[in-house]
Structure 1
Amino acid sequence: MAEALCKLTVGDIVDTWKIKRLLGEGGFGAAIVNTKTELSYAMKTELMSEALKVLKMEVYVMRQANINKAKHIVQCEDTGSYNENFLYVVMTMVGKSLQDVRKMCPGQKFSLGTALSIGIQSLEAIEELHQIGFLHR
Structure 2
Amino acid sequence: MAYEIDGMNISYDYEELITELKSDVAEGLLDTSSIINIVREPDPKLKGVNYIPIVDYYCSNALIELTEPLEVLYNRDEYTDEEWEDMEKERRQILKKYRQDEPFFEKATVLAVLTEMEQWNKVF
Instruction: Determine if the TM-score, normalized by the shorter chain, exceeds 0.5.
Output: no
Greater strand share, structure number: 1
* Higher RCO structure, 1 or 2 (CA under 8 Å, sep 6+): 2
Greater helix share, structure number: 2
Q: TM-score, length-normalised on structure 1?
A: 0.28
